[in-house]
Structure 1
Amino acid sequence: MDEELHERVRDIVASIPPGSVATYGDVAAAADASTPRLIGRILSEDGQDVPWHRVLRANGTPAPHLVHRQLELLRAEGVLADGQRIDLRRYRWRNPVG
């Protein structure tokens, strides 16, 4: 994997402010990555020290295997879910660079 892309993704995720979320697609677009799936892969392999919990699927839901922990972390930042879905119109981060 391209190390420069890897670091760009980590930097973008690190810049998502508390109380905001982005989708894998948002991060992919900002990082000029080929696919949102690549963002998930990078975060799963090397994302524990960045706010990975602020990145959601395109429909505003966490990955199924992360749902409880991710919603708990988001709730602590004031991001409230309707069931297991985050309202992207309300909480979506608008990257000033992307």
Structure 2
Amino acid sequence: MDREEYVEAVLVAVESIPAGSVATYGDIAAFVGQGGPRQVGAIMREYGGGVPWWRVIRASGIPADEVVDQQLQLLRGDGVRVTNGKINLRQVRWDPEEES
């Protein structure tokens, strides 16, 4: 898969996350089948403005410092429960297998 295809695959995966769910950067990389969390993060920073970027979160459940307030507000708007600035991934983690 070349870079353009990889970028497209990552963005399509992020668009697939339903409201009320989140995925980690590593989840997206695993779903796409290439790269890792850092590569997905780089793509999201560069190209993610047109997809629901706020549904992709660190594996710790804590948003990135530079977007924390906006991300938490958007997640709350999606119906995701936020406790002490953290998302409980066990409760809201996206499972693409459940989509089919």
TM-score of the aligned structures, taking structure 1 as reference length: 0.94
- Show structure 1 runs of 4+ deviating over 3 A: none
In the TM superposition, what whole-angstrom CA distance separates every residue of 1:58-93 from its partner, at most 9, and x where no partner exists?
Answer: 111111111000000000111011111100010101
Q: Which runs of 5+ in 2 are unaligned?
A: none
Question: Which residue identity does 2:72 align to in structure 1?
Answer: L
Q: Give the distance between the partners of 1:18 and 1:34, measured in 2 at CA.
A: 25
Q: Give the distance between the partners of 2:52 and 2:34, measured in 1 at CA.
A: 19
CA drift of 1:95 comes to 1.2
Partner of 2:78: 77
Q: Give the distance between the partners of 2:62 and 2:29, measured in 1 at CA.
A: 17
CA drift of 1:32 comes to 1.5
Question: Which residue identity does 1:74 align to in structure 2?
Answer: L
Q: Give the distance between the partners of 2:8 and 2:78, measured in 1 at CA.
A: 25
Q: Give the distance between the partners of 2:11 and 2:65, measured in 1 at CA.
A: 22
- Helix, strand or coil for the counterpart of 2:50? coil
Question: Which residue identity does 2:80 align to in structure 1?
Answer: V
What's the RMSD between the two structures over aligned residues?
1.2
In the TM superposition, what whole-angstrom CA distance separates every residue of 1:3-56 from its partner, at most 9, and x where no partner exists?
Answer: 111100000000000010000000010011221111111011011110000000
Q: Give the distance between the partners of 1:49 and 1:83, measured in 2 at CA.
A: 28
State the identity as a percent: 48
Partner of 1:62: 63
Q: What does residue range 1-98 of structure 1 map to in structure 2 within 5 Å?
A: 2-96=3-97
- Helix, strand or coil for the counterpart of 1:20? coil
Q: Which has the higher helix share?
A: 2
**What is the aligned residue count?**
97
Question: Which residue identity does 1:24 align to in structure 2?
Answer: Y
